[in-house]
């Protein structure tokens, strides 16, 4: 499908724009559409990029929804190589029991970024079985600081609620071995440029984006304000949970430990 076809297919283009506005990358969009369409690919991420950087896309400023908001796309093949994660274990080696949500305590993690000028970001964590979301204000993307914040959250009794953590290959997760050592967990990493493989936390990020768009001055917010927002989300019933809330399912499983 050529990029022009997005101009001709209004339903598909509206869907792509909808996800771009939620902060999804073209890779995440095409991966999710394929998943929702039973494995049939509707569009490639390159087609989305070409459409964004076409004359039509530039006039509509679709590039402003991308993380780096570049008016001109970097030439293919000039991307900086990602940092090598020490003792990285691929998601392909993750036990099926995790993928099938048959065991409590398996989390996914990500960073939510905000506009330039906002140095802080949000560490987002989501437990796969219960869909319980956690969001932690993080002052920088430094790997050691990111791991320290995650360790602080899972201190004390909360430590028993985590068995594994699935991450992407961003440099902010370079220090993941500190989590492995201190929490006694296993970490798994998505395939390069396929962060949609941790779709549970990505979907949670989409929900948070409704209240926390990229323009949010996160530096001016408190952790309590973030906690209150997340609490509201965790108290909404979900169809996939039999209309229980993530908070209810999380606490039920926590009590069993």
Is residue 73 in a domain?
no
Tell me which residue range forms the domain holding 141: 91-256
- Which DSSP category does 168 fall into? -
Two tokens at 14?
């509206």
Q: Is 19 contained in some domain?
A: yes
User: Number of folded domains in the chain?
Assistant: 2
* Whole-number pLDDT of residue 2: 47
Whether 52 is in a domain gets the answer yes
Contact 160, 183 (CB under 8 A): no
Q: What number of residues does the chain have? A: 257
pLDDT at 116: 65
Which residues have CB under 8 Å from 80's CB, separation 6+? none
DSSP state of 186: E
Q: What token pair was written down for 57? A: 């896309």
Cα angle at 257 between 167 and 232, to 5 degrees? 60
**Backbone angles phi and psi of 224, in degrees to 5:** -65, -40
Q: Bin 85: left if φ > 0, else alpha if -120 < ψ < 50, else beta.
A: beta
Quick check: is 25 in a domain?
yes
Per-residue burial over 184-202, b if 16 or more Cβ lie within 10 Å, else e, is: ebbbbbbeeeebbbbbbbb
> Is residue 31 domain-resident?
yes
User: Does one domain contain both 104 and 157?
Assistant: yes
User: Does an H or E element contain 243, and which?
Assistant: none
> 229: domain CATH number?
3.30.420.10
Encode the chain (257 residues) as per-residue pLDDT tens digits: 445 568 778 888 889 999 998 888 888 888 888 888 877 778 888 889 888 988 888 888 888 888 777 777 765 544 444 568 999 999 999 999 999 999 999 999 999 999 867 789 999 999 999 999 999 999 998 999 999 999 999 999 999 999 999 999 999 999 999 999 999 999 999 998 888 899 999 999 999 999 999 999 999 999 999 999 999 999 999 999 999 999 999 999 999 98
Beta bridge partners of 165: 107, 187
- Please check whether residues 61 and 106 belong to one and the same domain: no
Question: In angstroms, how far apart are the furthest CA atoms of the chain?
Answer: 57
């Amino acid at each position: 499908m050529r990029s022009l076809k997005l101009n001709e297919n209004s339903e598909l283009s509206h869907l792509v724009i909808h996800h771009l506005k939620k902060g999804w990358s073209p890779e995440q969009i095409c991966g999710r559409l394929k998943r929702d369409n039973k494995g049939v690919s509707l569009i490639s991420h390159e087609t989305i990029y070409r459409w964004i950087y076409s004359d039509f896309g530039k006039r509509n400023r679709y590039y402003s929804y991308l993380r780096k908001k570049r008016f001109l796309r970097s030439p293919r093949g000039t991307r900086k190589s990602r940092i090598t994660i020490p003792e990285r274990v691929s998601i392909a080696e993750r036990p099926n029991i995790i993928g099938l949500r048959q065991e409590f305590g398996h989390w996914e993690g990500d960073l939510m970024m905000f506009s330039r000028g906002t140095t802080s970001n949000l560490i987002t964590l989501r437990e796969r079985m219960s869909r319980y979301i956690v969001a932690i204000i993080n002052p920088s993307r430094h790997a050691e600081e990111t791991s320290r914040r995650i360790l602080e959250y899972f201190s004390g009794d909360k430590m028993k609620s985590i068995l594994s953590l699935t991450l992407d290959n961003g440099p902010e997760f370079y220090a993941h071995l500190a989590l492995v050592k201190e929490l006694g967990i296993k970490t798994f990493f998505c395939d390069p440029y396929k962060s949609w493989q941790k779709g549970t936390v990505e979907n949670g990020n989409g929900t948070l984006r409704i209240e926390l768009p990229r323009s949010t001055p996160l530096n001016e917010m408190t952790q309590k304000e973030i906690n209150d927002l997340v609490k509201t989300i965790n108290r909404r019933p979900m169809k996939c949970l039999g209309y229980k809330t993530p908070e209810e399912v999380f606490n039920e499983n926590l009590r069993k430990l």
